[in-house]
Amino acid sequence: MNDDVQTKIEEAIKNPKNLGEMKDADAVGTVGSADCGDMLRMWIKFKEEDGKKVIDRATFQSFGCQTAIAVASVATQLLAGKTIAEARNMSGEELAAPLGALPPVKIHCAQLVEGALRSALDGDQAAPTPASTVSPTLRQNMENPSNAKVRVVLGRTNEKQD
Ligand code: FES
């Protein structure tokens, strides 16, 4: 990974934005990676703006690598103000763009974020989306983080956004 991308990832994970469960979310999506076993959940809140339904806020929790956390952090910032169609059209590469071009071995980390976003947009519901692609162990870890044997990144949603 080039130094610039690595530095941006490190900066993003030092102070991840929009981290944590959103209690009043309109949509929730969860996805697991078959490549590495990592998992990411995204919550979305919509609002009306100029007669259109747009994303007000997006938050996330991750059982994943630093790159997935960094991508989710920048992606949730990018998503604010997007319509559902605009958000659905965003690729993992676009969601990760503020970090720079990810190396091939890390592309699936951005795809994890893309998958969670699509899962939330497709479900567009308050109840957690059944994570059919998530292994029972990962799902259990997400429901009971204190028992997890993987790195858990949970937190309260940042009240104030930059
Ligand atoms: Fe699995 Fe990054 S290594 S999401």
pTM, to two decimals:
0.79
Residue 3 confidence (pLDDT): 86
- Token pair in block for residue 119: 């899962």
31 close to 138: Cβ distance less than 8 angstroms: no
List ligand 1's pocket residues with C-beta within 6 A. Answer: 33, 36, 38, 64-65, 67-68, 109, 112
Cα(150) to ligand 1 centroid in Å equals 12
Cα(6) to ligand 1 centroid in Å equals 15
- The residues annotated as belonging to the active site are 36, 109
**Residues 4-50 pLDDT 10s:** 999 999 999 999 999 999 999 999 999 998 878 999 999 999 999 99
Domain spanning 3-129 has what CATH number? 3.90.1010.10
